[in-house]
Chains A and B, each alone.
Chain A
Amino acid sequence: MPTAQMDPIIEMLRSARRDVTPIRLRILLLAIASLTFIFCIFTINTVQQHITAVQSIGKDAAPSVIAAHQIEIGVQAMDADLTGELLHPQSSRQSQQFARDYEKWRVLVGKELIAAARNITYGETEAQSIESLQTNFGQFTAQAQSARDAHQANAEDLALVNYHAALKTLQQSLIPDAERLNKTNGDILETVFHQEESESSLSGGFVLVLGIALTALLVVCQIYLSKRFRRRFNIPLLIATATMVGFVQYLYPALQANTGHLKIAKDDSYDSIAALMNARADAYDANACQSRWLFDRQNAPSVEKSFSSALGKIATFGPENDYSKNYSKTVDKVEKQIKDGAKVNVPGFSGALADALANLRFTGESQAAFDMLKAFGAYQTADQSMKKFENSGDHKTAIEIGLGYDPDSTKYAFNKFDDALVRTLAINKEQFDQAIKNATNDVHGLILSCLLVGFLTIVCAYWGLRDRMAEYAG
């Protein structure tokens, strides 16, 4: 490097060592400007990370996960309503009721598909899942309509064949597509949250350290001016210092609050929502299996297996041969633990319901979750009763119990279970939305504030040092 170019820098460094006031003032100004710049860049980056995490978790991933679950639940319900319709004589009151329910769920699935499509944020995988869902949903409804048409025409064998085609589309395409969409968004949500969790304390701490360093530098500059120029206070530097202290005092807790709210949204609310949505999807799967068991008698053993598997995902209470005893014990223990305010933990009790009960955080949630548990037991009891009648050859009574809405029927217990589940979901969803709203508010306007504070600090530092440097200008 040419010596001539090095000279001013070396000279400046030497002058700084020799305590030459104007050089010191320039160095202080440069240091304040540089540190302010670094502080602003790092703060904006950190705040942006928090905003992205809130956006990803609260607005991109979670609604898609919920939409994917709703689609899965919806098509399972359509399957159950379809079999219900096919099990009843055409034009009967029950058949028409099932047709109306089927239509209700079809409209809901369509809406959720649009909701999911509106929220494509994670590229091809998500888009492909939604495209596939759209196509297969169309196919499923067409096949289901063929089965209904055949039933209307009293061609029950054809209705069964068409139903099997619709079921195949449902089980082999629609459900896997919905699960893939769910998994894509769920995985991203988990990744973003854990990344945010691990980075937020580090980046927040660094922002705090930078803020303290900048404040210290402003104080050092103030002391230097006070000693060197016999001026006790430099007003612009005081303004800059006070602004920086105020901003850092606001910024750091805001970032911490954002992380806290995101944690509430994810750990306390979203995890419960995901567990409950899974439980609801499994419950609708079990409900569809139950209707199918009555309708598709040839495949009853495999349907029974699917039913048990779906129920097992919702809740198991220990060894199968001692179900009633285990269930009663579990209910008593859960009730006691809820009353005592303890965390629900019963040995042998597992599944989505156990997960939801273990993660009770909000007012009203414990009662709703406990109602779910009680309704689940009633549902299983009604199911056993239905199967007993069917196996003894009383198909009519079995249908009444399996598809009716009397207090002893499975649908009554199922609806009670579903109501309690939806209530628990609503509580968690409300808390999730509130936590996301709070997390958004925590970081709202921080980037603009940071830019303004940074600009003000540099302007004040220049304004405060300019007159002092001018004294040496000659």
Chain B
Amino acid sequence: MSTSVNCNKPGCYGSIEHGICPVCGQPAHAQFDTMENLSTRDEVLTSLRQLLTGQQARPTKEELKEAADRLSLVAPYNFQAWRLHADLLLNALNQLLTRQLEADTSFKILTIPLREEDLRNAAEAALRQCAHFADSSEKRIAIVDEANSVRRETWF
């Protein structure tokens, strides 16, 4: 049984579902603090992108945790940011599926427990959010396809 968590965005009264507030569209971990964050967003995103895609070996559990912590400082405001959220979750999911990581509900990435079902739900939600910011219909279609391909298989 899960308890509902309220969105931490000032003025928003939504409850978090799959790591995202359905009312304001912001992830549960988003920090809505000061203007100085805004200036460093791009830097954070670039470094995380390198972490996830630049190295040969897959990021370790600790690296994922660090990346998640750094990403939680950035409120997703564009395609790149949401993409990065999704990629982080997908990376964790892939490692889980390839047994490089073990499921661990006490370990959380962006407030999402390290468990296949939760990661799939969160990655799907992040990708759907990402699709909203896609600059072309082809890209949007591709991302929605990706969201559907990653989602937890359901009966209906």
- Chain A interfacial positions (CB closer than 8 Å to B): 20-22, 228-235, 471-472, 474
CB-contacts of B98-156 with A (<8 A): 128, 131-132, 137-138, 140-141, 144-145, 147-149, 151-156
Beta-carbon contact of A230 and B151 below 8 Å: yes
Beta-carbon contact of A21 and B141 below 8 Å: yes
Beta-carbon contact of A233 and B148 below 8 Å: no
Q: What are the nearest 5 A-B pairs in CB distance?
A: A230-B153, A229-B148, A232-B155, A230-B151, A471-B144
Q: Which residues from chain A contact B144 at a C-beta distance below 8 Å?
A: 21, 471-472
Q: Which residues from chain A contact B145 at a C-beta distance below 8 Å?
A: 21, 228
B148 to chain A, nearest CB (A): 5
Q: A21-B145, A471-B148 are in contact. Are A231 and B156 (CB under 8 A)?
A: yes
Beta-carbon contact of B141 and A230 below 8 Å: no
Q: Which residues from chain A contact B154 at a C-beta distance below 8 Å?
A: 230-232
Bound-state CA distance A22–B144 (Å) is: 10
Beta-carbon contact of B140 and A233 below 8 Å: no
Q: Which residue of A lies closest to B124 (CB)?
A: A230
Beta-carbon contact of B141 and A22 below 8 Å: yes
A66 to chain B, nearest CB (A): 60
Beta-carbon contact of B140 and A472 below 8 Å: yes
Q: Which residues from chain A contact B140 at a C-beta distance below 8 Å?
A: 472, 474
B54 to chain A, nearest CB (A): 30
Bound-state CA distance A21–B142 (Å) is: 9
Bound-state CA distance A235–B147 (Å) is: 21
Residues of B within 8 A of A (CB-CB), count = 18
Q: Which residue of B lies closest to A225 (CB)?
A: B148
A11 to chain B, nearest CB (A): 11
Give the total number of A-B pairs whose CB atoms are below 8 A apart.
41
Q: Which residues from chain B contact A230 at a C-beta distance below 8 Å?
A: 148-149, 151-154
Q: Which residue of A lies closest to B134 (CB)?
A: A474
- Chain B interfacial positions (CB closer than 8 Å to A): 128, 131-132, 137-138, 140-141, 144-145, 147-149, 151-156
Q: Which residues from chain B contact A20 at a C-beta distance below 8 Å?
A: 138, 141
Bound-state CA distance A22–B138 (Å) is: 10
Bound-state CA distance A235–B156 (Å) is: 7
Beta-carbon contact of B141 and A232 below 8 Å: no
- Given A22-B141, A230-B151, A232-B155, 4 additional A-B pairs, CB 8 A: A20-B141, A228-B145, A472-B140, A472-B144
Complex partner residue of A232 from B137, B151, B153, CB under 8 angstroms:
B153
Determine which residue in B141, B153, B154, B155 has the highest number of CB atoms from chain A within 10 A of its CB, and name it.
Answer: B141
Beta-carbon contact of A231 and B141 below 8 Å: no
Q: Which residues from chain A contact B147 at a C-beta distance below 8 Å?
A: 471
Bound-state CA distance A20–B142 (Å) is: 8
B25 to chain A, nearest CB (A): 15
Q: Which residue of B lies closest to A18 (CB)?
A: B138
Bound-state CA distance A21–B149 (Å) is: 12
Beta-carbon contact of B156 and A232 below 8 Å: yes
Bound-state CA distance A235–B128 (Å) is: 23
Beta-carbon contact of B141 and A233 below 8 Å: no
Bound-state CA distance A233–B148 (Å) is: 14
Q: Which residue of A lies closest to B150 (CB)?
A: A230
B105 to chain A, nearest CB (A): 23
Beta-carbon contact of A233 and B153 below 8 Å: no
Bound-state CA distance A234–B155 (Å) is: 8
Determine which residue in A21, A22, A234, A472 has the highest number of CB atoms from chain B within 10 A of its CB, and name it.
Answer: A472
A257 to chain B, nearest CB (A): 38
Q: Which residues from chain B contact A233 at a C-beta distance below 8 Å?
A: 155-156
Q: Which residues from chain A contact B155 at a C-beta distance below 8 Å?
A: 231-233
Bound-state CA distance A229–B145 (Å) is: 8
6 contacts between A and B (CB under 8 A): A20-B138, A230-B149, A235-B156, A471-B128, A471-B144, A474-B131
Q: Which residues from chain B contact A472 at a C-beta distance below 8 Å?
A: 140-141, 144
Q: Which residues from chain B contact A234 at a C-beta distance below 8 Å?
A: 156
Q: Which residue of A lies closest to B149 (CB)?
A: A230
Bound-state CA distance A234–B140 (Å) is: 23
Q: Which residues from chain A contact B131 at a C-beta distance below 8 Å?
A: 474
Bound-state CA distance A228–B145 (Å) is: 8
Q: Which residue of A lies closest to B138 (CB)?
A: A20
Beta-carbon contact of A228 and B156 below 8 Å: no
Q: Which residue of A lies closest to B152 (CB)?
A: A230
Bound-state CA distance A231–B156 (Å) is: 5
Q: Which residue of A lies closest to B151 (CB)?
A: A230
B86 to chain A, nearest CB (A): 16
A234 to chain B, nearest CB (A): 7
B142 to chain A, nearest CB (A): 9
Q: Which residues from chain A contact B148 at a C-beta distance below 8 Å?
A: 21, 228-230, 471
Bound-state CA distance A230–B144 (Å) is: 12
Determine which residue in A232, A233, A474 has the highest number of CB atoms from chain B within 10 A of its CB, and name it.
Answer: A474
Bound-state CA distance A234–B137 (Å) is: 25
Bound-state CA distance A213–B113 (Å) is: 47
B77 to chain A, nearest CB (A): 18
Q: Which residues from chain A contact B137 at a C-beta distance below 8 Å?
A: 474
Q: Which residue of B lies closest to A474 (CB)?
A: B140
A18 to chain B, nearest CB (A): 9
Q: Which residue of A lies closest to B120 (CB)?
A: A230
Bound-state CA distance A231–B155 (Å) is: 6
Q: Which residue of A lies closest to B141 (CB)?
A: A472
Bound-state CA distance A42–B13 (Å) is: 57
Bound-state CA distance A231–B141 (Å) is: 18
Q: Which residue of B lies closest to A22 (CB)?
A: B141
Bound-state CA distance A234–B154 (Å) is: 10
A24 to chain B, nearest CB (A): 10
Bound-state CA distance A403–B5 (Å) is: 111
Bound-state CA distance A228–B153 (Å) is: 11
Q: Which residue of B lies closest to A21 (CB)?
A: B145
Bound-state CA distance A231–B128 (Å) is: 17
Q: Which residues from chain B contact A229 at a C-beta distance below 8 Å?
A: 148, 151
